[in-house]
Structure 1
Amino acid sequence: MFGYIVRRLIAGVLVLIAVSMMVFAIFFYGPNDPALAYCPESRCTPQRLDNLRHNLGLDRPAPQQYVEYMSGLVKSRHIESGGISIDCNWPCLGVSFKYRVSVFHYLWDRFPATFSVAAGGAICFLIIGLFSGIFAARRRGTMADKAIVSTSLFINAIPYYLLALLAYLYLVQGLGLFPETGYHSPFKDGPFKFVGGLALPWLMLGIAYSTQYARFSRGAMVDALNEDYVRTARAKGLMERVVVRRHALRAAIVPVVTIFGLDFAYLLAGTLFTEKIFGIQGMGLAGLDAVQRTDLPMISAYTLISAAFIVVANIVVDILYSVIDPRVRLA
């Protein structure tokens, strides 16, 4: 077990290094010149562009630039860019062209909002999807089962951004059933304002994502309930809820853990539509703003952080397999 975890961690680090190389090559050696992104030719003279390239370090060899760029993960750096001088505290992944601040610290300040949306939404869609799937599996072939499957397919056919936008227009601005959405710190503004501002985003994420969890958990539960060990447990006289909870559920939840880990990582990388529609100042909105303004350091840092979330989620999911299902053996 320990050896497997070490190997997975090493593989994860190698993947992140490969991603960082690709990100660096795309954003700093791609079709767009970082100096032109900072100052277009219509506003900059050739001499000023050369000065910008020198200040950004673009006139240095590529390996040296990559080492200096990635060294910001382990130490502070002093950066001069566009006539400004900034001491970028560790960790530092460059300075934003627009805000003239450390991109990592700027994104980190927005992380609590994204994490709050992702965690609340994940809890909602896991509870709704898992319980509805188990409920349908225990009543296979009945009207309740067909209604749950049909409803999940219908909701899944609606684009999430349309569902969230309609909910905001009608439930917040139209009927006023929910307070104005947005992120409020639970420590500064209080828990009631925190929950009130995120209740509708959590509900929309829960409804939209729960459809696939309902279908996955239903299918896995149906297979688990037909296993020999479940029939043996029933033959011993165990109550049905004990059979479902202690025997069938533990095996049926394994495929659900896979998609849950990845979905949660993608939400941590930025709930873009949710933040845009409900006015939440999170990492996803910062990434969208960086793309619109061609803020290359911000985009590259956002991409690296998103990749780190996904890699870590894969490692955690692989380790959890052996905890949830004892039949799984990690070589």
Structure 2
Amino acid sequence: MRTVRWIAGIGLLPGALLGGATALTLAWRERLPDRLPNQGGVGDRPVMTTIPVDTLTAILIGVALAAWITGLVVFLAAGRLPRIPRHWLRAGVQVAVATVASAAVTILLMVLGAALDATTAADVNISWGYFAATMAVPAVVAAGSGLVAILLAGRAPERPSDPTATTVSAAAPQRAQPTSAVDDERLLWWESRSLRPVVWAMVALALSGLLLAAVLVPLVGVPGWAGLAPTVTAPVLLPFTRYRLAIDARGVRLTFGLVRWRLPLTAIAAAEETSLDAATWLTRGMLRGATDRTLPLLPGPVLALRLTDGTCRLVTCRDVGTAVNAVNALRARATAR
């Protein structure tokens, strides 16, 4: 299963992007002028310099192809590394290739789309709105492709037991300070975890945008600045690079970036451990959307909270067994009262 995901991420995804863009470019060739605006031609600005359509196509397709080939070489060379570093290097390469390839071919198709059925470069009329879209749309496409690449990479192999390497912080049952005239004992358990796929996606977006702009601006002029789109959108992911799960007498609370939700103990019928495979997780995400609260942040072992209304909430959790015991212990204590 992992091999199939790697093949899809580093092979089929960029191959589909390049193949689709090349096929569409060839289909449009008879409807395009020989040259396109290189400087000017936006809004009321006159066209100052032009660039051949074939040259622009070769540059942008070449950038995507070079990123793909380089990524394949690094991907294969990473096979000599230990399991966990190998996974994260390959995941980062996969995300970088997907974002660079998708941004490059999107820029190409949008620039060519504006020139369809024009006779000469002077006849190509690009509005400021379309120019702004040329900056924004490649960023959206790059972010979407990077997310798909992360999902295809899946979870890293389990790290060997090492107390000094774990990032999970858990507190054993503690006695809190009294909150009323009667001592109140509270069980507290929490987990804070960095979502490394999101971190890798953010870094890959930032670097790929700088690389695209550095290559494209000297070659194609103003349209090349659209290559910065992935860099501009990368900081959007920063608040979502970590999540925190807390379980105490008030209920179960999850904080993920700007998203916060809480389930009171009275709404939970039972807690149990389950597992969600990557294929099901990816399918559910596509069908229901990332805002679906029943969808955990990552596939693999998850905390399943059976609610009193008959529904189920799945929660990303590394130490699932401890979380299950904590929730059930708190529920039993609350019921005993």
Question: Shorter-chain TM-score: which interval?
Answer: under 0.3
Task: Name which structure has the greater RCO, CA cutoff 8 Å, separation 6+.
Answer: 1
Calculate the TM-score normalised by the size of structure 1.
0.27
**Structure with greater strand share of residues:** 2
**Structure with greater helix share of residues:** 1
